[in-house]
Chain A
Amino acid sequence: MIYFLCFILFSIGIYGVLVKRNIIKLIISTMILNYAVYILLVLMGFRWQGQAPVFAADQGIGFMVDPLPQSMVMVSMIVGLAVTALLVAVAMRLYQEFKTFDLKAIIKTKIKNKPETDDNA
């Protein structure tokens, strides 16, 4: 059941990326998309009543949780954070330039109607 919820979250993210035109909503959709995969990965490494993967005298290897998915999620979250920061930075520049968050309107009306011989100095 819980794996199915991850799938639903992933689908919501995909829906947002494909359908939404607002820049902020698009960024949030990509975050939902990424978090769905992170949660799935954490669930894969989960073990009921498991113990930390640290060797000790009273600890059997069979009860340890798998540490690899956890470290993978940590690294992926950092990468995801870097990408999100870049997305937000570009979104801010876009808003400064066009005073709107609607990506479709920016591309359809503002960029395509811009005169071709603009001075960009």
Chain B
Amino acid sequence: MIMLDIQQIIPLFILIPLLGVFLLALLARKKNFNADLILFIIVFGLLLLSGYLFTFKTKSLLYVYCLAGWQLPEAITFIVDGLAAFFLLSVYLITFCIMVYSLRYIDNWKGKWKFYALFLLLLTGANGVIISGDLFTLYLFMEVTAIASYALFVFSLEAKALAFGFKYMIKGVMASALIFLGIVVCYCFTSTLALADIANQLYLRQHIVSDPAMGCVVLFIQALFFLGLLLKSGIVPFNSWVSDINQAALAPGKAMLLAVIVPVLGIYPFLRIYFNIIGPNDQSLAIVRMFALAAMIGSMFWLYKTKSNNQGIAYHLINEFGLVILAMATNTPWAIFGGFLQLLNAQITAALVICNAGLIDYQAYPKQFSGQLKYSFKSRPIAFFNTIFSKLAFISFPPFLGFWSKLIIIVAVWKAGYQVSALGAFLCVCLAVILFIKQQRFLALNSRNRQPDLKLKKIKFSLAVSLSLMLGLCLGLNLLLAADYKEIFLKPAIETILSTTKYSKAVFKAENEK
């Protein structure tokens, strides 16, 4: 069996999807050109590669690739550690399901290959954000992802998509400017861009040199990054674009944006910068916990106010991400374990429920169906079961993964001594579920016989397979609760978060050992 060197695998996560974009653009006008096959091979191949990263694990999962043979801190580096490997795997698990869904879904719209090219460009950017080892490369890949996501948002060119897409773009540009300003200030202060070196410099100034300006500058950098990342991730109070996406974009596009891009552009950089570069302390962790609770309460308020199915999904999802941040800010192994499970569950259930809601748009096309269709078991058994089970998975009904992850988080937060936060999280989770059920019931009652003359297409095989895959994942990922699987897939990520700024030493050591 041919064993690939891990250092050679790392840049493939950027090169392969980028090659796919060029291939699609080059071959688009050829006769008998099968864009579906190219997309399938690339995404499936990258899914296998991201799983392959875990088989390499020796002592600790940490690999450094320096571009053009340069050395840290001058080199542009790509780093795969436990956190990056977990995010890569989770991204590809979900992307694979969404890709299968989009194969037939996108038949209704013109320029199928363009959608696929944007899909792969989005993946290139997301991979780049996850594996980049310096701040400027991180920013560049964030911009690549953002540009692809803007185009995916407005892909249908419908009036709603254009107007809401424009709003989303303006917010995205503002977020990017804030993050770039943060990078500029950080560079001025540390004279380096490599993440590991920045962590090193900040540690030296804090603990050895005792720089008096340190506190203010770090606080300013943190504020700029967090404001930018909050805008990118759409957490309350910057949540308006999330509900806009759910109202206007095509189902595979919005599933990618909410289930993949929000965690990759919002939560991943937050974890990396806050835990591994700046380093948490008790005061800042308390502020983050308070903020996470406020975001959960805010999302409940919006959930209470909305009567739209799509907006309801968006606000419930914001609540789920708020719980992830609360878990991470508790900073104990069990809370972080629960946080990762919760993140994975939120991503998969969001993709599932969005794709399921998108079925009706696909079936009714070119007409628009207003409201929510009540599928009957006799005429459409697949859609009937999927609608019921996707909603159950989304509200974390046991035995779906979300139930266990929430339980672990609330118990871990309580045991860590933050009883008020645990109680608040428990109340928020329960209320969000009640509000979501109430809102869905309201829609179901309202939709009776609203458009009885609407002819619906049959659901294609690939759509049904994709939804079944996602449903299977919602149940199958319960395996991560088992000690063996936790050890392989989640422990390296948990260790990366808990190692805080020791990440810097580990990266330099891994680079020297190459």
Contact = CB atoms under 8 A, between A and B. Distances in A.
Contacts of B150: 83, 86, 90
Contacts, number: 102
Contact of A110 (B140, B159, B184, B193): B159
B5 interface: no
B188 interface: yes
Contacts of A119: 366-367
Looking at chain A's contact residues, the main secondary structure is: helix
Nearest to B154: A90
B366 A33 contact: no
Contacts of B187: 41, 44, 68-69
30 contacts: A13-B177, A26-B170, A33-B174, A36-B177, A37-B180, A37-B181, A40-B181, A40-B184, A44-B187, A44-B188, A68-B187, A69-B187, A75-B136, A79-B147, A83-B169, A83-B173, A87-B169, A90-B154, A90-B162, A90-B165, A93-B157, A94-B166, A97-B159, A98-B159, A107-B167, A110-B159, A111-B160, A111-B163, A114-B159, A116-B368
**Interface range for B:** 35 or more
Interface in A105-121: 106-107, 110-111, 114, 116-121
A112 B154 CA distance: 18
Interface in A2-53: 10, 13-14, 17, 23, 26, 30, 33-34, 36-37, 40-41, 44
Interface string B177-204: 1001100100110000100000000000
Interface of B: 136, 139-140, 143, 146-147, 150-151, 154, 157-160, 162-167, 169-170, 172-174, 176-177, 180-181, 184, 187-188, 193, 366-368, 370, 451
Nearest to B244: A107
A20 B368 CA distance: 32
Contact of A23 (B139, B154, B166): B166
B67 to A, nearest CB: 15
Contact of A97 (B162, B188, B367, B451): B162
Nearest to A82: B147
A37 B166 contact: no
B184 A34 contact: no
B143 A83 contact: yes
A76 interface: yes
A30 B150 CA distance: 15
Interface hub of A14, A17, A44, A117 (most chain B Cβ within 10 A): A117
A86 B159 CA distance: 16
B432 to A, nearest CB: 26
A121 B157 CA distance: 12
The 5 closest A-B pairs by CB, nearest first: A121-B366, A116-B370, A30-B173, A33-B177, A79-B143
A55 B273 CA distance: 35
B181 A10 contact: yes
Contact of A83 (B146, B158, B164, B370): B146
A67 to B, nearest CB: 12
Nearest to A91: B166
A117 B454 CA distance: 11
A68 B181 CA distance: 15
Contacts of A97: 159, 162
B166 A103 contact: yes
Nearest to B160: A111
